[in-house]
Structure 1
Amino acid sequence: MKKIISTFIIAASFYNGLHAQSAPKVSEEQLYRPNFHFSPKKGWMNDPNGLYYKDGVYHLFFQYYPDGNKWGPMHWGHATSKDLVKWEEQKIALAPDALGYIFSGSAVVDKNNTSGFGDAKNMPVVAIYTYHNPNREKDGKIDVESQGIAYTLDNSKSWTKFSNNPVLKNPGIKDFRDPKVTWDSKRQQWIMALAAQDRAHFYASKNLKDWTFQSEFGKDLGAHGGVWECPDLFPIKVEGTKEEKWVLIVNINPGGPNKGSAGQYFVGDFDGKTFTVDALFTKQLQKDKAAWLDWGKDNYASVSFDNIPDGKRVIIGWMSNWEYAQEVPTEAWRSSMTVAREVSLKRTKEAYILKNVPVKQLQTYEGKAIQKKINLKAENKVLGSSEIDLSKAILDLDLKKLTAGTYTFSLKNSLGEEVLFGIDNNSKELFVDRSKSGKINFGNHYATPVTKAPLDQSLSNAKMKVVLDKTSIEIFFNDGEKVLTEIFFPNEKFSELNLSTDSKGASVSVIAHQLNIK
């Protein structure tokens, strides 16, 4: 008997050895490189910078360290797209110099050549960025950051730094960075929103070279769990009206609603010098303390593009979190960007809501629709691997006749790994749980606690648009009124979607599209 068992064990070991040898090794590239979210070919990436549109091309610059997979001496990397979906990486645009590293900033199309950098044939694009001087930092100085500019006359193929940089010197503030510049058409001036430690500063200029301080905002408003970074100030029409408001996006690290870094926003008015929060929005802040652009862990430094056609406002963010970004389980490169999102402003009796949804251009890559309606039982199979590749897909989920209870979608693979998301109609929350999603033992607070976004009331109906890539989920709830963005690192791609509930009588309608992006 022992001999038979031994023979069986030897045979099994031999078979397993052969099987292991013959099983194809899945590379980091195959497993974790996003299918359509932008990621650099190599090196470290964080904040998006210098976003603009010109001559049929969208330009995305980004904080970049090409010589390592963790944060280092910052450059501006560069990528371009004709549709905000497929991105092509270009050569480095701006590199450190004697004044310091090239930190975050923005770029504007100077249509009237206010800067004087252009000529009769060439309209300049001007980049405005932060210089971070590591030598002064080592010496314990406070004023390590100042603002510089550079310009291009050939659609960002080459850049020239201004000879009289910096154009805005540090007034004695430790964190003094991330200039976001916009054209104020009513006052015919450039306005710079700048992060100044725990508040925003506003400056004005007629020529992008000479800047005058106007005002500050935010010392006692909004979330203050960390330093303020990457502000963005812009006008926007309220949906369905002619009313124009100004929105100020301010990113914060740490201090987000689910730990770590995140983006908040304010709604108000701007008179060319001062930003004032709207009275209705003030009531929101008294109730909620802060309004969040995205409740997920992985959307930081969202800023908008300059010069987008048809007056649209489009943003893109860094899809990671400073709590663990430098330890995620990729080695050749680190980080990706969110999908580009169009923002709109909705007003209700109780609140202003800055909505964001995927840009319409993503729809051009949608394949044939899979449509289903499922009357819910305790356990429900929604989509299987034979129907759709869930590593690049868009799902529209429409839930009806919800009652008290929990509705949990599970994105699974054959290894038993899963990402859970859904609605807890008892506690009135949206949630994402990636505690069993694969590789989770890195950084701080990656897998815990469960990410949550509050709902104003229990729901009878709910809609979710879900954008899936290999290593990310972006959930746009009720047309982008609440958004949750999360990254994950399974050991095998997710291949099926199920739904479980402890309630009865509800249904879900599913429209799923394969994304045909190479």
Structure 2
Amino acid sequence: MSFLAGRSVQTGLYLTAGSTARSLVRSITSLRPHRWIGDPCGTIRHNGRYQAYSWGAAQSDDLLHWTEINDHAIKGLPKGTAAFTGSVVADRENSAGYGEDALIAVFTSFDEASKKQSQSIAFSHDGGLSYSFYDGNPVLDIWSTEFRDPTVIRDREHGRWIMLVAKALEKKVAFYGSTDLKHWECPDMFRLPVEGTDRRKWVMVVSTALPMRAWSLRPTGLWNLIFSLISRRSRFLPTAAKECSRS
């Protein structure tokens, strides 16, 4: 899942009722490069066009018809380093110093020798067709082999960026804050209106295949857990659980 103008957009394969492994129906909005690709990520609308990455770059005017621009959008990756899933933001206030409205990619760097996963950034000066690897990378490193898939959003109320990133072995989602996308302090989050009030609440959704005995749910299966932020304690508390359909 990735973000498009503040809203999540799901792309890929979909199942219809009664479908089997032989009758998968591909979404009409899919992109089919003639090569292996990773998770679709970094989806953003910028200068009137939609852009998505894999980390090759693709563009669309209508989300239906896609043109693959290149298969390696991030330039200057060190030898032995691979780019994994991440997100792209438009830095409208030039917080990172690459110019107003510059596109900044935030992604997981995978070190092939040590298997370490850390978070890096790259910046674009050509509208998102290509990105230059920041020479101060990684911007966030906890020396873990299971620390990946950052999603970054803008918290305009507090003038900062927020990163959500998975700590896979710990079965946790960690939150970090930054004012410049380069220095971070210690998986999707968005704000929704609270029905019947004028308030808005931060909501986080986490998918898990772990045993759910603590929730008195079936111990197997894939579940979406929904958490809401309790502002006075700056903590997310579970509010709902929903089992994912497996037709």
Q: Give the shorter-chain TM-score range.
A: 0.7 to 0.9
- Match of 1:70? none
Code of the residue aligned with 1:106 in structure 2: it is S
- Match of 1:130? 108
1:481-496 paired onto structure 2 within 5 Å? none
- CA-to-aligned-CA distance 1:38-85 (integer Å, 9 cap, x gap): 1322122342211211111121212xxxxxxxxxxxxx1222222333
Code of the residue aligned with 2:86 in structure 1: it is G
Matched-pair contact (CA < 8 Å) for 1:176–1:194: yes
- Match of 2:74? 94
- CA-to-aligned-CA distance 1:359-385 (integer Å, 9 cap, x gap): xxxxxxxxxxxxxxxxxxxxxxxxxxx
Please give the alpha-carbon distance, in whole angstroms, between the structure 1 residues aligned to 2:122 and 2:175.
20
2:236 is the alignment partner of 1:276: yes
Please give the alpha-carbon distance, in whole angstroms, between the structure 1 residues aligned to 2:48 and 2:196.
29
Aligned-pair distance for 1:150? 0.3
Q: Which runs of 5+ in 1 are unaligned?
A: 1-30, 63-75, 138-143, 214-230, 285-289, 298-431, 433-518
Please give the alpha-carbon distance, in whole angstroms, between the structure 1 residues aligned to 2:233 and 2:91.
21
Quick one: which of 38, 42, 53 aligns to 1:50? Answer: 42
- Match of 2:202? 246
2:227 is the alignment partner of 1:267: yes
2:60 is the alignment partner of 1:60: no
- CA-to-aligned-CA distance 1:226-278 (integer Å, 9 cap, x gap): xxxxx122212245653311121334467799x88x67242312649934226
Aligned-pair distance for 1:114? 0.4
- CA-to-aligned-CA distance 1:298-348 (integer Å, 9 cap, x gap): xxxxxxxxxxxxxxxxxxxxxxxxxxxxxxxxxxxxxxxxxxxxxxxxxxx
Matched-pair contact (CA < 8 Å) for 1:202–1:273: no
Q: How many residues align?
A: 216
Quick one: which of 164, 174, 177 aligns to 1:201? Answer: 174
Change (3 A) 1:44 1:239: farther
- Match of 1:383? none
Matched-pair contact (CA < 8 Å) for 2:44–2:89: yes
Percent identity over the alignment? 30
2:33 is the alignment partner of 1:41: yes
Quick one: which of 146, 158, 167 aligns to 1:175? Answer: 146
More helix by share: 1
2:170 is the alignment partner of 1:189: no
Matched-pair contact (CA < 8 Å) for 1:99–1:131: no
Aligned-pair distance for 1:133? 1.1
Please give the alpha-carbon distance, in whole angstroms, between the structure 1 residues aligned to 2:49 and 2:211.
35
- CA-to-aligned-CA distance 1:483-502 (integer Å, 9 cap, x gap): xxxxxxxxxxxxxxxxxxxx
Please give the alpha-carbon distance, in whole angstroms, between the structure 1 residues aligned to 2:200 and 2:35.
41
Quick one: which of 186, 191, 204 aligns to 1:235? Answer: 191
2:63 is the alignment partner of 1:84: yes
- CA-to-aligned-CA distance 1:462-482 (integer Å, 9 cap, x gap): xxxxxxxxxxxxxxxxxxxxx
Please give the alpha-carbon distance, in whole angstroms, between the structure 2 residues aligned to 1:90 and 1:102.
17
More strand by share: 2
Change (3 A) 1:275 1:185: farther
Please give the alpha-carbon distance, in whole angstroms, between the structure 2 residues aligned to 1:255 and 1:267.
18
SS in 2 for 1:129: strand
1:355-366 paired onto structure 2 within 5 Å? none
Change (3 A) 1:268 1:32: closer
Please give the alpha-carbon distance, in whole angstroms, between the structure 2 residues aligned to 1:264 and 1:85.
28
Q: Which has the higher contact order (CA 8 A, sep 6+)?
A: 1
Q: TM-score, normalised by structure 1?
A: 0.38
Code of the residue aligned with 1:191 in structure 2: it is I
2:122 is the alignment partner of 1:150: yes
Change (3 A) 1:107 1:254: farther
Please give the alpha-carbon distance, in whole angstroms, between the structure 1 residues aligned to 2:194 and 2:35.
40
SS in 1 for 2:181: coil
Matched-pair contact (CA < 8 Å) for 1:235–1:244: yes
Q: Which runs of 5+ in 2 are unaligned?
A: 1-22, 213-217
Please give the alpha-carbon distance, in whole angstroms, between the structure 2 residues aligned to 1:209 and 1:51.
21
Larger-gyration structure (1/2):
1
Please give the alpha-carbon distance, in whole angstroms, between the structure 1 residues aligned to 2:181 and 2:223.
27
- CA-to-aligned-CA distance 1:181-203 (integer Å, 9 cap, x gap): 11112211111111012101111
Please give the alpha-carbon distance, in whole angstroms, between the structure 2 residues aligned to 1:203 and 1:271.
16
Change (3 A) 1:60 1:296: farther
2:66 is the alignment partner of 1:110: no
